[in-house]
Amino acid sequence: MKIFFIFLLITTITFAQNSVMVFQNNSDYMHRAIYDLLTKNIFLYSHFKIIETKENNNYNQVKSKIKELSAKNNSDISILYNIKTFGDGFLLNYIIYNNSNRWYENEYYFRETNMFNAVNKVLDDFYKMNNVNISRDNYIKEDEYISLIGYYSDIMSNDNIYNLFYSFHKDNIYFNMDYLEYLFVNNGNANDLISDILKTIDKKNHYYFYVLGIKYYNDYKVNVIYDDIEKSILNYEEAIKLKPNSYLYNEKLAKAYLLKNDYDNALKYYENAIILSDNNTSLIKEVLGILNRDFNKNANKIIEYLNKIISIDNNDDEAIEELAKLYESIGDYENAYLYYNKLMEAVNYHLYIINNEKPNASLYDKYTAKKNRTQTKIKSIENRMK
């Protein structure tokens, strides 16, 4: 018997009333499909923010402490799923719990070909419980799901998935959302692409403005017409007005300002994005690229962000090495020595993974060389501290 779990926590943050945190422990076809359709629909048609987590979760363990987990994560609502084989189909068990002690538990039997009905059942209960008015036209449609069965089946093993499925799914928004930027770069007719997307959403939807932002951003990169980057910025701003809790929209607006060389506004929206996705080290590193333009002015902020990266991932050797070099450059050898030793621990961790779990010759050479350099650096710092 195969069992699939999805656990979603909905938390409150500054930018929005509710957020959805997704806990998952499977990456097979059925999990991918139900997770993808559910979260994308919630993203498109509600005010909720989707937050991902890499934590592993056991369905029964989570169910037994769902109230505790909700409180721990400042959750307004928690949704717990369990999908298992049942007869010649599957049984979806799910719980919707909120912090006012409302508990709703249900189950839904489905076959693979009509799994979209199971997703819609959860969506319907979720939206009704949260007083979200959504048209039935915005639920998952049979043709949208059926056409994507092969896509979801192959997505985890085929690197060329876009080329394989584009001609069949170019008008399916649940496909387009994964490849939007690639579609604009490689599609000969952007207006046709926008028309395909408008088959699912209307021009008042936040995602429509985001699509236009991507279009004009790519137009500017190709033609370098100033008006295009201005249009990109205006459309990203409209998307954010309608869905301010999207870290992605804030990140894209930051990139547009960066392309315009407006570093102050770029930094503003990058920092908004970091607040909305506070465990996203890639965003922090993009901010560091801006702050490093004026190191003397931003040194304390740089140190703060580097420490934030390390608090998220204490084996991020790039951030640790950057911090060690920074302390060395300002003559703080005590902290430099501390972080070079932390760097050695991180390098040894990566070498352990390479040697025992994920062999990679080029990474092995990279980390072996870094280990040797770090050992030399530690000895040098020791001599300076004498």
> Domains in the chain, start-ordered, CATH in brackets?
3-178 (3.40.50), 197-278 (1.25.40.10), 283-386 (1.25.40.10)
- 3-class DSSP assignment, residue 95: strand
Dihedral (CA of 101, 102, 107, 113) sign: negative
- Rounded to a whole number of angstroms, the CA Rg of the chain reads 24
- DSSP code at position 269: H
Q: What span, in angstroms and rounded, lies between the C-alpha atoms of 208 and 6?
A: 29
| HEC secondary structure over 204-233 | CCHHHHHHHHHHHHHHHHHHCCHHHHHHHH
Residue-level pLDDT, tens digit, the chain, 386 residues: 444 444 555 444 344 458 777 777 565 778 788 888 988 999 999 998 887 766 656 778 888 887 887 777 666 777 788 888 999 999 998 988 887 768 889 999 999 889 999 999 999 999 998 889 999 999 999 988 988 888 887 776 666 677 677 666 777 888 888 888 877 877 666 777 788 788 889 999 999 999 999 999 999 998 899 999 999 999 999 999 999 999 999 999 999 999 999 999 999 999 999 999 888 999 999 999 999 999 999 999 999 999 999 999 999 999 999 999 999 999 999 999 999 999 999 999 999 999 999 999 999 999 999 999 999 999 999 998 87
DSSP structural state of residue 89: E
Separation between Cα atoms, residue 91 and residue 123, nearest integer Å: 16
Rounded distance between C-alpha atoms, residue 374 and residue 213, angstroms: 44
Hey, is 347 helix, strand or coil? Answer: helix
Alpha-carbon span 29 to 161, nearest angstrom: 14
Find where tokens 């801006």 sit: 290
Q: Is 79 helix (H, G, I), strand (E, B) or coil?
A: strand
Amino acid identity of residue 24, one-letter, is Q
Gap between the Cα atoms of 93 and 108, Å rounded: 7
Q: Cα(270)–Cα(283) distance, rounded to whole angstroms?
A: 7
* pLDDT at site 159: 62
178: which DSSP letter?
T
- Distance CA(97)–CA(58), nearest Å, equals 17
Contact between 101 and 95 under an 8 Å Cβ cutoff? The reply is no
SS3 label, residue 16: strand
